[in-house]
Structure 1
């Protein structure tokens, strides 16, 4: 899933120095020896760099302590948080139009592609091992709970249970637990994109724009020329083809390909892709019984391509970073939690919604609650689901810290 920005971390560092490279501030920093481990950077700054009376500090230390470390981008953090909220909302209400309002999966794959391209500035094998560790440890922790529950309920694992160890194919269980494990397709698709990224990035950089446009071809082939088999392998091919453009769009953003493009062609192409995706979904409802993009891969591909291109180009062209979010401390903290616990939120949200149902059933047995609470409302279930998900984040989110080789914490 697109939780990768969390791995960049919120480390403390030297507060920003004046832009002038010859300023006393920078000269003093070059002369000083490194700080001892555990030394507070703000104390170090005040002790070693005397403040000039005529030049007060441009930013309060409290604000600096809240500011994200270099390498993080709050624009992407906000997009990821919104995408996760939309995923939970969709699974609670099942609104077919939710994907057209905000195509979360396309956004998450694009953000993951951007961060993967940045990570591949380091040795590819090292990057892949790190990504797999950060994905698999939370997955194994979650999978142990789900598999144990299904076994207790009567499920007998077969040879394909190995996919619960390495999800190169969709891990599956019994029908009783389907609502929990059916979301694992995203982890499987993400894992394959990670494994293929060194090759994809090399091919992309040979001819960025042609390769980006040609990435739309596989889904057209699967739709009109050859239908993949109805199997794990076939489903995996369709998912890779559906979101390949978005993943490569992340490469394009990282390599500043988007920033060099003119607004006119980008807007025209994006709106055309959006229109085609929406038209195809609305005119093919007979085949699926709905215009839900999740059920129509071709429509999903083009709608996500147009929508996400506009989001990424807006970021690249206008250099938006949402750095001002730090002024709103609570909102900034919520965005941070969503990004640092993205895998946990994605894996546990369905279980939270499942458990909300029997919990609400127990509330009906209390006359006072039955009389004053909207127990029959789907919105009430939605709220209980979020409360249970918050508990899951507190109880299980620390696994993401361990997977990232950080000190475990209840909340980031």
Structure 2
């Protein structure tokens, strides 16, 4: 349900992936209307906790050995090392999901969520990483997740809140949600496009807090619990309408993506690889078929078949789509290890995963800033003549340039939050020793 319907003055409809807050005016057509924010996202990439190093035993000194030129050249061609425990298949899915989020917020294509349901995928990836982390004590895992999520959010929030205060925003007690986003942080219409994407962080945070209980229940009866995880969204749609407030919105988001989160548990515990391929394919296609059918037959309610506007369709389409991706990973052992042979592509995937929160939080601001920046280009005759200033594709490119700037300027906060050495860009070649 839209924020406007909830009485908070928020946008209309639901957002991508599903980021609530979108209506029919997607895209940046003629630059007259900024696209509604998306969700995106996902945070949810896990960085293993640092472990205490083993005692180092100094070896006996040996005579220096001069590497042959061929050996040195081979060393130069080696791909940069990746953090231990990373899975290139999951990392690639997360990178593509973030790209799809930015693309959707630029063009507003209703079919984008059907081609690649980014938020369902990101919740599924986050679920499997959370199940892996919960092999350690739950309080420690939750503290670690909060530590990695909240500082980048606070850093970004300082700029957004100050900008809204300058533009006549008067906050109430709900400003506490700018400290811990257990509910959607408030804001004014001027900054709506920037803060509307925070539904994803709120939903992710609740899933993290509920995961110790959810994982325990899941392990009592894995397959039945997985199938029943679609029941809440059916109940909310058919039997009980949630309240038009922050609580109702949070319940709807949790119900929509609960299956994807539990599916992450199933992947981690090896449940998916034990399922029969025929059953998985049939159930996945049935869920996708129902989600698509419901979206196309209920366009009159939202004015579009966009899954982000239709929670029930979003839940089933994402469930079937993500189930296929997760099952294929388990059944066929897909790992995308070959990606390391393409050093530049592998580096891009590393940057997207290490800076996922930064890209998600700052991408809408980058798209907002792209519009006045392009407006200035019209004052330069050469730009006006030779550049496609009216094209949304041009704005898409400018937006990515600005996102790259934000990654360079603000991404270090994620390193600090993760107790890592701050870097401009992660995944680079280790410094070479010697002259």
Q: Report TM bin, short chain.
A: 0.7 to 0.9
What is the TM-score normalised by the length of structure 1?
A: 0.88
Matches within 5 A, 1:5-404: 5-8=45-48, 34=56, 61=75, 66-404=80-418
Alpha-carbon offset, residue 64 of structure 1: 6.0
Whole-Å separation in 2 of the counterparts to 1:35 and 1:313: 44
For 1:242 and 1:272, locate their aligned partners in 2 and report how far apart those are by CA, in whole Å: 17
Which structure has the highest helix share of the two?
1
**Cα distance, 1:193–1:6 mapped onto 2, change above 3 Å:** closer
Residue 7 of structure 1 aligns to a residue whose secondary structure is coil
Deviation at 1:66, TM superposition (A): 2.5
Matched-pair contact (CA < 8 Å) for 2:46–2:126: no
- Asked if the contact 1:344/1:397 (under 8 Å) is kept, the reply is yes
Give, in angstroms, the shift of residue 387 of structure 1.
0.3
SS at structure 1 position matched to 2:171: coil
**Structure 2 runs not aligned, ≥5 long:** 1-40, 66-70, 427-435
> Once the 2 structures are TM-superposed, how far is the Cα of residue 241 of structure 1 from its aligned partner?
0.2
Tell me by how many angstroms 1:366 deviates: 1.1
Q: CA deviation at 1:73?
A: 0.4
| CA RMSD after TM alignment | 2.4
For structure 1, which runs of at least 5 residues remain unmatched after alignment? 14-31, 37-43, 51-56
TM-score, normalised relative to structure 2: 0.83
Q: Which string of whole-angstrom CA distances, capped at 9 and with x for unpartnered residues, describes residues 156-194 of structure 1?
A: 111111100110000120001100000000000000000
Structure 1 distance, partners of 2:57, 2:386, is 59
Q: Distance in 2 between matches of 1:379 and 1:34?
A: 54
Alpha-carbon deviation of 1:34? 3.3
Aligned length: 378
Structure 1 runs of 4+ with >2 Å offset: 1-6, 8-11, 32-36, 60-70
Indicate how the Cα distance of structure 1 residues 47 and 405 shifts in structure 2: closer, same or farther if over 3 A, else same. Answer: farther
For residues 63 and 126 of structure 1, the distance between their equivalents in structure 2, rounded to whole angstroms, comes to: 39
